[in-house]
Chains A and B, each alone.
Chain A
Amino acid sequence: MDDYKEIFLAEANEYMQLLNDCLMNMEENPQDAESLQEIFRLVHSLKGMAGTMGFDLLKQVAHDLENFMEQFKGNEHLLNSEIVDFFFESVDVFQGLLIDPENPGENERETAQLYLEKISSYWQEVLEEVPAETETETGAPSSEGETTGETTAERTAGEEEAVSAGDEMPAGESGVESEGEFEGEPAVDKREEPVGEPAAEGMPAAAGDGEEEIPCADDGEETAEDLTIELSEIEKEILNSAECRGEQGYVVKVVLLEGAMMKSVRSYMVIRALEQFGEIVTAAPSLQDLDEEKFDQAFKVLVVSSFLEPAKVKEAILNIAEVQQVEITLWQDEVAQRQEAPQEAADTSDGVAQAEPAAAQDAAGDEKAPSDADKAVPEQSCRQQPDKKQTSSASVPKVQEKMVRVETSKLDDLINLIGEMVIMRNSVMEKGTGLSEELDQSLDQMDRVITELQNVSMQLRMVPIKQVFERFPRMMRDICRDRGKEVELSISGEDTELDRSIINQLSDPLVHILRNAVDHGIEDVQERESKGKSRIGHISLRAFHESNHVVLTVEDDGKGMDPEKIKKAALEKGVADEEELSRMDEDEIINLLFRSGFSTAPEITDVSGRGVGMDAVKKAVESMRGSIEIKSEVGKGSMFILRFPLTLAIIKALMVRAGGYIFAIPIESIRENVLLQPHQIKTIQKEWVVNMRGEVFSLYDLGKLLNFAPMDEEKDEYNVVVIETGQKKAGFLVDELLGQQEVVIKSLGNFLKDMKGITGATVLGDGRVTLIIDVLGLLEDRRVEVG
């Protein structure tokens, strides 16, 4: 079940995000019926998921909230910002419970209980407000809500489907994607099954010549029972040999409750249970389809066993949640029955009877079918009507096919292997080129394909920054509330893509910067008004590409940073001394904020100043090979600028030889390569410096800097790689320049991750490991050494 828990958590967290989004919409427009519907749908799904997983408290909260929301259907005019706030609160409650849904902590439990109480007290208030006529219209749910029994919950669930189906497709793709997997609503699998299967494969509706018949492909006949087990040759063989051993085949038919959630889990559990009784031969729908939830309420499993005690089997299977009914028949009987009158096998279960004709209709792939079917099917199933319409509108399955959920570790493996192949390619090309014309041609083609593959694999690593940004509106709302400030957050460029490993670590530094902007940047309302600024503060978060980098900026229109104050604070705190400060320009002074031990906040507030200062932000950014700087103007606002490399996986590097070994220097930190004559190199306080076009900077022997062999002989000319990174500039003397190369960055692993001056390693075409120089780290370390 742990696997499922993980999926559950992933889904639930996505739901939280969607909930927040919808609520943000509602906050602007509290009476937005569409958002309400979406929220309703999300809460409903969450309830279902939590119920299946047995997370009772979570389910309870979702359930009550759902019923509460029900009141506002058609009564949207009753919604106001207070109620929206109340909904917002629910997200926090949910998130609290999601920390450990199985066993929520004391605090979380308490909050949830409080919330439940709040719901019921709110409920009374709202009930009083609801006009009498509308209440009778929506009569059923409101009266049910109060009783809050299990059965009523089930029933309301059915009805809610009908309502929520109206705006079935949620805005975010993630929502769509998730549904197929998780939400076991009948509506969903019908969509997936008939349209996805027969239609996609272009099979005629009346299947049956396949090895295993696809369920529901029986065309629109009234047979609810189309779970025909067709045996392949191998399976027949298994059955025959079993019969020779005196064993018998049994058909176990299992019917799940209508609207069962996570049917694949149930079917899996059923099959696991059956394995204890005998050997599973096959199932209808196939085991794979069961696994992928491509079935309605019922499925059959063929088991061979020497003796199967029906009562025991039934007991075992009925023990599994959401199993409505179990039937066991002998295989021979099943075969005989089928030959006599296939349609008589129709099940008595309501669930199957009503769900399947509808599905079968859709299976025909006929656009008109659903409307006809709607008239034909029994009244109860009318609820599902909107779903079916959705089904035929073809756009749904397309969306589903567009996205596949893959474990990130698998993706990483793939990308790593491709990286390996790129390296191997270099080696093969080196050895193979020129041996024969034919080989050369093949190598050429291989080269192209691999290059293409590499590009594609790089794309796999890229994810839109939206993932990080989407949390912020809600977060800002809370912070502003808390601090009593009014701030409008505008976001742009959220589709900008960045390497996944950067995205994952980006959130914390950005949160910190945003909090700081609210706390220290934006002024109070009164202050703003007295300065003639707009009442509402403005923070804009932008992402965009700039040559080889992705740039993120956080800009506020607050009070800005005063270099004089910073100077003073820096002196007080001993972050910098008088002499150093005198040499700095304003920008440099402002960027002193990033030094450790610096915090200008006069008070420690709840949001900022929790001990993590800007130096931590800087460190985090730099660990992602990014850079950060501040621009600020007193009275007008400040801007934080973060720059990140496009990708972390492959970089262009200049290969050099120094100290007897080959090193890679990232091109992004190199300004130029020059040849210097000995007389151009001067010595100041035992350090080499050079004056180039009016700029004076230090020179270092790279080999010596790395503690390898220093350059020994006197040369006529020195190869110098001029480095420029951040505000630092220096020259590295190297023995030899070996040219540019694209290198795949590999981590040095846990043991060596803190190595100064080395960011990672790469493997050359011949399999040798080459270290990649971290220019900034090396220069900073150098400072320690000198100072």
Chain B
Amino acid sequence: MEEERIEESREVQLVAFMLEDEEFAVDIHKVREVIKLPEITPLPRSVDFIEGVINLRGDIIPVVDLCKRFSLHRPEERDEQSRIIIVEIDGSGEIGLIVDAVSEVLRISEDVIHPPPTNVSGARAELIQGVGRLDNRLIIILNLQEILTSEEQLALEEVTITDKDTK
């Protein structure tokens, strides 16, 4: 991630996808595959953006609802366009990202990727590695490492316990 930015004017390849009407992208090297939505088994007592787990050829893979992760309003229904992008998180395994549609594979120069502005759609900045400008488009490049941080998980686990206590 970091080193990519240091080396100047290199091209990066990204897989672009849509969440609501915003365009996001992840590094193509981290993408294992893109699949249609299979049946998702929900996990009890987990954080809300973890939709559940799926069976990918025998491996159990957690899937994250990116809309929820980014606190976007979810479109009413998932449709034919909805996909799961299976990505590799360095050193931890694979996770699936539920997105509204996968649009294309992009090549953009590193020069046009800028650090994240502080308030992109209200989402948390650490989830965003940078913002790419391509013609008139703004493409938000995800920092996959932060999608499922254990810190986040811990914090949310505590929340769930307190929730229960108050019941």
Contact = CB atoms under 8 A, between A and B. Distances in A.
B75 interface: no
Nearest to A747: B60
Interface string B140-161: 0000000010000100010011
B46 to A, nearest CB: 7
B122 interface: no
A416 interface: yes
B45 A752 contact: no
Contacts of B61: 749
Given A708-B44, A761-B41, A419 B148 contact: no
B45 A707 contact: yes
Given A423-B58, A706-B44, A706-B45, A751 B92 contact: yes
Contact of A748 (B39, B62, B92, B165): B62
Contacts of A768: 39, 41, 55
A746 B161 contact: no
Interface in A741-775: 746-752, 754-758, 760-761, 763, 767-771
B95 interface: yes
A761 B60 contact: yes
Contacts of B89: 751
B54 interface: yes
Contacts of B95: 751
A706 B46 CA distance: 10
A784 interface: yes
Interface string B23-47: 0000000000000001101111110
B44 A707 contact: yes
Interface string B100-138: 000000000000000000000000000000000000000
Contacts of B157: 754
A661 B43 CA distance: 10
Contacts of B46: 752, 755
Interface in B60-82: 60-62
A785 interface: yes
Interface residues of B, number: 31
A50 B89 CA distance: 39
A420 interface: yes
Given A707-B44, A755-B43, A768-B55, A749 B148 contact: no
A771 B45 CA distance: 13
Interface size class of A (residues with CB under 8 A): 20 to 34
Nearest to A756: B45
B53 interface: yes
Interface string A731-749: 0000000000000001111
B60 A757 contact: no
Contact of B93 (A749, A761, A770, A771): A749
A749 B150 CA distance: 13
A749 B61 CA distance: 7
A785 B161 contact: yes
Contacts of A784: 161
A751 B94 CA distance: 9
B60 A769 contact: yes
A749 B62 contact: yes
A661 B41 contact: yes
A304 B45 CA distance: 68
Contact of B41 (A760, A771, A785): A771
Nearest to B165: A785
Given A768-B55, A769-B53, A784-B161, A751 B43 contact: no
B161 A752 contact: no
Contacts of B50: 752
Given A768-B41, A785-B164, A746 B58 contact: yes
Contacts of B57: 420
B59 interface: yes
Contact of B58 (A659, A760, A763): A763
B136 to A, nearest CB: 37
Contact of B44 (A749, A754, A758, A763): A758
Of B42, B58, B95, most buried by chain A (CB within 10 Å of CB) is B58
Interface in A692-724: 706-708
Contact of A419 (B41, B55, B58, B94): B58
Contacts of B43: 752, 755, 758, 771
B54 A769 contact: yes
Nearest to A762: B60
Contacts of B160: 707
A551 to B, nearest CB: 31
Nearest to A744: B58
Given A767-B55, A769-B54, A784-B161, A751 B44 contact: no
A752 B164 contact: no
A429 B11 CA distance: 51
Nearest to B148: A751
A168 B35 CA distance: 59
A757 B44 contact: yes
B30 to A, nearest CB: 15
A655 to B, nearest CB: 13
A771 B58 contact: no
Contacts of B39: 767-769
B47 to A, nearest CB: 10
Given A763-B58, A769-B54, A769-B60, A750 B42 contact: no
Nearest to B59: A746
B161 to A, nearest CB: 6
Nearest to B149: A751
Given A707-B45, A769-B41, A420 B58 contact: yes
Contact of A751 (B42, B93, B161, B165): B93
A756 B153 CA distance: 12
Interface in A335-388: none
A680 B151 CA distance: 45
A763 B94 CA distance: 18
Nearest to A703: B44
Contact of A770 (B41, B44, B62): B41
Interface string A651-665: 000000001010000
B105 to A, nearest CB: 26
Interface string A403-420: 000000000000010011
Contacts of B59: 746, 749
Nearest to B54: A769
Nearest to B53: A769
Contacts of B45: 706-707, 755-757
A419 B46 CA distance: 27
A785 B53 CA distance: 25
B60 A746 contact: yes
Nearest to A760: B60
A708 B43 CA distance: 9
Contacts of B165: 785
A661 B53 contact: no
Contacts of B55: 763, 767-769
Contacts of A749: 59-62, 92-94
Given A746-B59, A761-B60, A785-B161, A752 B41 contact: no
**Most chain B CB atoms below 10 A, which of A708, A751, A784:** A751
A771 B161 contact: no
Given A707-B160, A771-B41, 18 more contacts: A659-B44, A661-B41, A707-B44, A746-B60, A748-B53, A749-B60, A749-B61, A750-B92, A750-B93, A751-B93, A751-B153, A755-B46, A763-B55, A763-B60, A767-B39, A769-B39, A769-B41, A769-B55
Interface of A: 416, 419-420, 423, 659, 661, 706-708, 746-752, 754-758, 760-761, 763, 767-771, 784-785
30 contacts: A416-B58, A419-B58, A420-B57, A423-B58, A707-B44, A748-B53, A748-B60, A748-B62, A749-B60, A749-B94, A751-B93, A751-B148, A752-B50, A754-B153, A754-B157, A755-B45, A755-B46, A756-B45, A757-B44, A757-B45, A761-B60, A763-B58, A767-B39, A769-B53, A769-B54, A769-B60, A770-B41, A784-B161, A785-B164, A785-B165
The 10 closest A-B pairs by CB, nearest first: A706-B44, A769-B41, A420-B58, A750-B92, A785-B164, A761-B60, A707-B45, A769-B55, A749-B93, A763-B55
